[in-house]
Amino acid sequence: MSETLFTGKVSQMKANSKFLGSEDLAGLGSVEMEIAGVYQFADEIMQDGKKKEGFALGFAKTDKRLILNATNRKVLAFSFGADTKAWAGKKVSVYVQDGVRNPAGGATVSGLRIKTERTPTK
């Protein structure tokens, strides 16, 4: 067996992933990112090994995309309007929220959420 000390970031451990996960931003607080565009994907093999399709948010300065779930999609639509072309160039804050329901199994997990200056408060 051969081993070396790894001192990198968690995102480097899953470098082949196209998508941001909560562990990529764990401990960083709220991270400001600029939207590059909205992308549609199909036949993407996910962590659970199943092929999925959907939409993802691309950002400037990173190749990883954020899968758009209903909650984040609604925040963006409320903040920037229904035309997704208008979202490009807008700044958002991405943060980790604990207690998010996993739609695949119903268990609660840590998930990524988006907020903007126009996000309504509860």
Q: Per residue in 55-82, pLDDT tens?
A: 999 999 998 999 999 999 999 999 999 9
* pLDDT value at 107 more than 60: yes
pLDDT of residue 100: 81
* pTM (two decimals): 0.80
Question: Model confidence at 119, in pLDDT bands (50, 70, 90)?
Answer: low
The whole-number pLDDT of residue 13 equals 67
Query: Taking the domains of the chain in order of start, what are their residue ranges?
Result: 18-115
CA 56 to CA 69: how far, in whole Å? 9
Are the CB atoms for 109 and 22 separated by under 8 Å? yes
- Chain segment 25-48, per-residue pLDDT in tens: 888 999 999 999 999 999 887 777
Beta strand ranges found along the chain (DSSP E): 31-45, 51-59, 62-67, 91-101, 108-115
pLDDT tops 70 at residue 18: yes
Average pLDDT score, the chain: 87
